[in-house]
Amino acid sequence: MRAVTIRDNTLVVEERPDPEPEGGELLVRVRAAGVNGADILQRRGGYPAPPGSPQDIPGLELAGEVAALGPGTRRFTAGDRVMAVVGGGGQAELALLHERAAMPVPEPLDWPQAGGLAEVFLTAHDAIFTQAGLRPGERLLVHGAAGGVGTAAVQLGRAAGARVTATVRRPELRPAVERLGAHVIPPEGFGEQGPYDVILELVGAGNLAENLRSLATGGRIAVIGVGGSGPASEINLLSLMQRRARIHGSTLRPRPLEEKALASRLVEREVLPLFETGAITVPVAATFPLDEAEAAYERFEAGGKLGKIVLLA
pLDDT in tens, 103-128: 999 999 999 999 999 999 999 999 99
CATH 3.10.400.10 fits domain 2-117+253-312: no
Q: How many Cα atoms occupy the beta-carbon half-sphere of 191 within 13 Å?
A: 10
| Number of C-beta neighbours around residue 72 at 10 A | 10
144: region left, alpha or beta (phi > 0 left; psi from -120 to 50 alpha): left
Do residues 202 and 228 make contact, with C-beta atoms less than 8 angstroms apart?
Answer: yes
* Separation of alpha carbons 181 and 156, rounded Å: 9
Second-level CATH architecture of 120-249: 3-Layer(aba) Sandwich (3.40)
pLDDT band, very low/low/confident/very high, at 253 (cuts 50, 70, 90): confident
pLDDT number for residue 119: 96
Distance CA 255, CA 7 (A): 26
Residue 242: how many other CB atoms lie within 10 Å: 12
Q: Tens digit of pLDDT for each residue in 55-107?
A: 999 999 999 999 999 999 999 999 999 999 999 999 999 999 999 999 999 99
What is the rounded CA–CA span in Å between residue 212 and residue 246? 10
Three-state secondary-structure class, residue 35: strand
Residues in contact with 236: Cβ distance below 8 Å, sequence separation at least 6, in sequence order:
209, 212
The letter for the amino acid at 244 is R
Domain ranges of the chain: 2-117+253-312, 120-249
Its pTM surpasses 0.85:
yes
